[in-house]
Structures are given as structure tokens and as C-alpha cells.
Structure 1
């Protein structure tokens, strides 16, 4: 069965692409929920210093997410599949890093690891970083295909941290 007006060869890859995108988004939210709800552990003491560090990192993460969401505007989507005809955003927080929303989620995840103090928190955070890294690389391949300027932008701006993870000329 195909979508009306779509050829069988085009509908199947699009459906697979959407299914992969949905699974990545679902995994991302499940890992964030796990970080928030895994029972507290005893790998380290959660003293005042740890709590202050966690609050600070949580705030930095939240600010990155909010600034990224605001700057994307109508181009925002939870899916790694870019919106059709959306403009490439390279200013504001996107002038410092290409994926500030994902960087903010990772930073906020570290805050939850610090407070959680369990090996399961560390495992969930490492899985989150892996998933977001994979999601970002896939998204960037689509952005490279959609926006000719993305390669030069990626060569100037780091992926999750300013200056780190820039695209190579032939990447």
C-alpha cells in the first residue's frame, strides 16, 4: 500500500525515515525520564557542593535548551528530520554550537547524574549522549543535503561545545 500520489519506492524510505526518527525521539525522552526517576544511589555523597554543581549545570542546560528553541522558531521539531523549506539558523546560540538543544539536554543530564549518584544514572546518561550524538549526525547529513551553506557553518562552529566537533572539509 502506498500513499496517494507517491510511488512505492518513495513511500517506503520516507516511512522508514519517520519510524527511525520517532524511535530516536522516544528513546531520548525515555532516557531523560530514567535520569529523573531512577532511585537515588550511593556512589558519592550528595553534599552541598554536589547540589550546587547540579543546580548550576541544570540551569546552564535549561538556558541552552530555551535559547535553542527560541532561536529555531518555526523550524523547531523534536524529529531529527528538518522541516521542509526551513531556514538554516546560524546566529545567536547557534553561532556558538550547532546543537545547543542537545547540548542542554546532556548538560541537564549531568545534573541529574550528580543528584542521582548511582551507576544506573551514569549508564542512562552515557546512553543519552550516544543517542543524541547519533541523532545529531543523522540530522546533520540531512541538513548538509538541504542547505549548501551547512558545510562551511559546520567547519566554523562546534557540535555541542564551542570550537569542538567542527566538520572537516570532506566530512
Structure 2
């Protein structure tokens, strides 16, 4: 059951990301040079965070929220700044796509992605607390998606 739920969450996450990429463009706000530059910056930051997060995890990397058994807890590199840099990267890149997309559909899909990643994170962190006794202290020091924001007390 646990693995089926994890797989389902990953499938929905991929669906939402593809929806952000393929949704038709709208005209809710003007897509001028400033909007495009901001979107490109957000996408670049997102890709950078996701790649650095994935690279830092090494053998602990998995798309599933279920942590790999006996994998070390990553608290170095970008994980010293935020606990979930890959998810932060997906949200940042997704926001860039929303800006370029200029539609309410993009906004709704991105909000669904943020909600999914927030819920997935909470579940994943419960398992990390069980797997790694040091996780609680780490989560009290480091923000969930943004530096200093979402620390667990």
C-alpha cells in the first residue's frame, strides 16, 4: 500500500509538470521582456537546485518519497540551506512556466503541484525521522523549501 501510494504521487507529480509545459498559453497578464527574464531566472534557479539536490543525494536519490534503506542523511551542500531543494527547484521552475504561460490553468496546475509536493514532503519527513534519528535536529535548523522557513520545532 505504501509503495503504491508513493508511485501514485510520483505519477501525479509528473503529470502536473507535463501539464505546466503543455498547457495552452493565455493572456491573463502581458508576457513582456521583464516577465520572460523573470521566468527564465526562475527556471534556471529551479533546474540548478534540482540538479544540485539530486547530485548531493547520490545513492540516496529516489523519485519516491520513501527513503532508501541505509542511505546516508544528506545535510551538506544545498541541503545545508533547504531540506528539499529538488522540490524547491520544481516549484521555482514551475512558477517560471506559470509566468510564461499567462493562464489561470497554469496557476491552478502550479498550485496543485505545490500542494502535492508539500504533502509528499510531510510524509517523507515522517519516514526520515524514523530512519534517521538526527533528522529532527536537522529539520529544526534548516527550512523546508526556503532558508529558515518551515523549520520543525
TM-score normalized with structure 2 length: 1.00
In the alignment, structure 1 residue 76 sits paired with structure 2 residue 61: yes
Shift, 1:84, TM fit: 0.7
Shift, 1:95, TM fit: 0.2
Moved over 2 A (4+): none
* Structure showing greater Rg: 1
Q: Which residue of the partner structure matches residue 34 of structure 1?
A: 19
Q: Which residue of the partner structure matches residue 5 of structure 1?
A: none
Q: Which residue of the partner structure matches residue 35 of structure 2?
A: 50
Alignment partners' CA distance in 2, 1:85 and 1:68 = 19
Alignment partners' CA distance in 1, 2:87 and 2:121 = 8
Bigger relative contact order (CA 8 A; separation at least 6):
2
Alignment partners' CA distance in 1, 2:37 and 2:12 = 29
Q: For structure 2, list consecutive stretches of 5 or more residues without a partner in the other structure.
A: none
Shift, 1:98, TM fit: 0.2
Residue by residue, what CA displacement relative to the aligned partner does 1:56-104 show, whole Å, maximum 9, x if unpaired? 0000000000100000001000000000100000010000000000000
In the alignment, structure 1 residue 152 sits paired with structure 2 residue 121: no
Q: Which residue of the partner structure matches residue 25 of structure 1?
A: 10
Q: Aligned with 1:85: secondary structure?
A: coil
Select the residue among 128, 131, 152 that pairs with 1:143.
128
Alignment partners' CA distance in 2, 1:98 and 1:120 = 29
Select the residue among 63, 87, 91 that pairs with 2:48.
63
Q: For structure 1, list consecutive stretches of 5 or more residues without a partner in the other structure.
A: 1-15
TM-score normalized with structure 1 length: 0.89
Q: Which residue of the partner structure matches residue 165 of structure 1?
A: 150
Shift, 1:110, TM fit: 0.2
CA-based RMSD: 0.3
Q: Which residue of the partner structure matches residue 73 of structure 2?
A: 88
Residue by residue, what CA displacement relative to the aligned partner does 1:97-148 show, whole Å, maximum 9, x if unpaired? 0000000000000000000000000000000000000000000000000100
Number of equivalences: 153
